[in-house]
Structure 1
Amino acid sequence: MAGMKAMILAAGLGTRMRPLTLDTPKPLLKVGGKSLIEYHIERLVAAGVTDLVINHAWLGQQIEEYLGTGERYGARIQYSPESEPLETGGGIRKALPLLCDQGAAPFIVLNGDLFSTHPLEPLVDLQPPLGGAHLVLTANPPWHAEGDFALHSDGLVKEDGAEKLTFSGISVMTPELFDGIEADAFALAPLLREKMQVGAVTGSRLQGYWEDVGTPERLSVLDERLKAGVI
């Protein structure tokens, strides 16, 4: 879909990453000589997605100063600063005017604290059900063995099923997903579960490498793998 935009979620406090995040926002932590968020930007641009929105809160001005307008990456970056915690759902809803200023097209959403080689090009042409979303699911990591949702053979994602997988933090969302919500701050997962009940959430399996960079230990391991060229 021509002109698809993307949002990178970068407003977390990074509490599990302390002390590294006491003076550096988590998306700017470096692995393999590059900040986490730069990998996202470069991969989105390579997939033809150059119009980006980044939300931020904790030390967010550092993110704006580091990335600037996005010109050096071949992107156009707009920012959605948050002065109070909005949670994931609230953060996306607040940014909708930036994401949907040219119509009601779906948009890609990436968690800022993940690293993945999953191909983004197929997501550019993806059209989730109206009022719903498409989630990329991955095998459950050891620290989240119970998983999140089940991907069924018809491509629908539901709360339960024979095999539960973990939501990778990579998705395509429709702006109508947030219709009728009046709260400023709200979590995304309950909203997705509600839409699953009416068959409005589809999914696919992640391809390639994935890591939720949630702790200093995982950050260090990822840094070593990137520097060694094994990813």
Structure 2
Amino acid sequence: MPATPRPAASPVPVRPDTLAPEAVIVAGGFGTRMLPLTERRPKHLLEVGGVAFLEHQISTLAAAGVGHVVLATSYHAELFFPVLGDGSRFGVRLSYVTEDEPLGTGGAIRNVAGALAPEPERAVVVLNGDVLSGHDLVAQLADFEQPRDGRAVDVSLHLVEVADARAFGCVPTDEGRRVLAFVEKSDDPVSNQVNAGCYVFRRRVVDDIPAGRVVSVERETFPGLVADGALVVGWVESAYWRDVGSPAALVAASRDLVLGTATSPAVRRAPAPAWVDPGARVEGEVSDGSSVAVGAQVAAGATVRGSVLMPGAVVGAGSEVVDSVLGPGVRVGAGARVHGCAVGDEAAVPDGAMLEPGSRVACGSTA
């Protein structure tokens, strides 16, 4: 594919305080890695730490001074508004733009350009819709507005350092944190810095992404900008970060939020061994960062450890649910063992059943 054209050179902007940052959350994926939990809803609305995942991202954006958030949706797009509304309860204005067909990360960003304000130098935060991050977005935005050698930054990327970068594409930077390249996965990585899924775009850069076709920011937009001499910088920070793209990652992220290993403006409560909604009924043991949603039940003698019970899930007497996710309306029978599993909506686990670790039970089925 051809490289993305370099944005026209511009003087360092004087950004009035009234030009508050806007944001785009890319939330159009099918959530295939999350199946069966995503058979009936987008992964972005799955409960993590007791609230829909996007609530963490929207609350983080609001806390950073973002006033307008655009959700780029596709799969089950009709389900977002009933959960998130117009954004007023988060202190932001929420807009929704739906893709008729998948356009990739860059295409999704370009597709919502009409919903963004037209000021070319405004900061636009872009978040991948499946990343939980505790990094300092306020500081990244402030850094974005600092000129480099008399030039305005075009794009800032949040980068994290990982111990083993072989499973990731690498993003090497120079001493001034200017991005040098985007390197595909390799057995011999050139850097341990990887893309963390939070970007700050200059508004004019969004308009330079080709419209009406599939575009990947990772493979086309960012490499093209670097090749054409645009000013792309890295914001390297080692705060909490997790890609919440699988049932195991969802369990881990939820546990971290409950125990206080991770924090979020969406869950302002003290760390605890477990979180239990006031509308749930728990007679058994719930521990190790488990979360138990409204209408869920844990019978006497049952044990739930490090797990996520979504609304209406029921765990029968004497059962063990460990490191697992139970979707809405799941029924786990008495004396069953569910370890490291993902059980879809309204599925049933019979009395005494012992599921193999890693099992995934389809919605409405019997294990």
Given the two structures, how large is their TM-score scaled by the length of structure 2? 0.59
For each residue in 1:63-102, what CA deviation from the matched residue of structure 2 results, as whole angstroms up to 9, or x when unmatched? Answer: 1221110111111001111111111111111111212335
Change (3 A) 1:51 1:14: same
Alignment equivalent of 2:31, drawn from 8, 14, 21: 14
Q: Which residue of 2 aligns with 1:93?
A: 110
Deviation at 1:17, TM superposition (A): 0.7
Aligned AA for 1:21? T
The answer to which of 212-221 and 97-106 deviates more is 97-106
In our comparison, the structure showing a higher alpha carbon Rg is 2
Residue 252 of structure 2 is matched in structure 1 by 221
Q: Which amino acid aligns with 1:35?
A: A
Q: Answer 1 or 2: higher relative contact order, Cα 8 Å, separation at least 6.
A: 1
TM-score, L = length of structure 1:
0.91
CA distance in 2, matches of 1:13, 1:114: 15
Asked whether the equivalents of residues 36 and 114 of structure 1 are also in contact (C-alpha less than 8 Å), the reply is no
Cα deviation digits, residues 174-208 of structure 1 (max 9, x gap): 23324272443211121101111214211111241
Q: Distance in 2 between matches of 1:46 and 1:37?
A: 14
Q: How does 1:63-102 map to 2 (within 5 A)?
A: 63-102=80-119
How far apart, in 1, do the equivalents of 2:204 and 2:36 lie?
39
Q: Which runs of 5+ in 1 are unaligned?
A: none
Q: Deviations over 1:152-185 (max 9, x none)?
A: 2122112269524110001101233242724432
1:33 paired with 2:50, answer yes
Aligned to 2:198: 170
2:235 matched to 1:204? Answer: yes
2:224 aligned residue:
194
Alignment RMSD, CA only? 2.2
Moved more, 119-128 or 146-155: 119-128
Q: 1:136 and 1:143 mapped to 2: Cα distance?
A: 16
CA apart distance, 1:38: 0.3
Partner of 2:214: 185
Partner of 2:178: 156
How many residue pairs match? The answer is 231
Moved more, 155-164 or 69-78: 155-164
**Does the 8 Å CA contact 2:140/2:235 hold for their aligned counterparts?**
no
CA distance in 1, matches of 2:81, 2:163: 32
* Superposed displacement of residue 130, structure 1: 5.7
How far has the Cα of 1:35 moved from its partner? 1.5
In the aligned structure 1, how far is the partner of 2:209 from the partner of 2:60? Answer: 33
- Report the counterpart of residue 105 of structure 1 in structure 2: 122
Aligned-partner Cα distance in 2 for 1:73–1:106: 20
Give the distance between the partners of 1:176 and 1:101, measured in 2 at CA: 8
Q: Which moved more, 1:143-152 or 1:42-51?
A: 143-152
Structure 1 residues 150 and 17, CA gap change in structure 2 (3 angstroms): same
**Structure 2: distance between partners of 1:72 and 1:146:** 36
* Structure 2 residues not aligned, in runs of 5+: 1-14, 184-188, 263-367
Q: Residue type of the partner of 1:171?
A: Y
Relative to structure 1, is the Cα distance of residues 158 and 164 closer, same or farther in structure 2, using a 3 angstrom cutoff?
A: farther
Percent of aligned positions with the same letter in both sequences?
A: 31
Question: Which structure features the higher share of helix residues?
Answer: 1
Question: SS of the residue aligned with 1:150?
Answer: coil
C-alpha distance after superposition, 1:99-150 (max 9, x if no partner): 2335541211111101011111123332386683110101237685343211
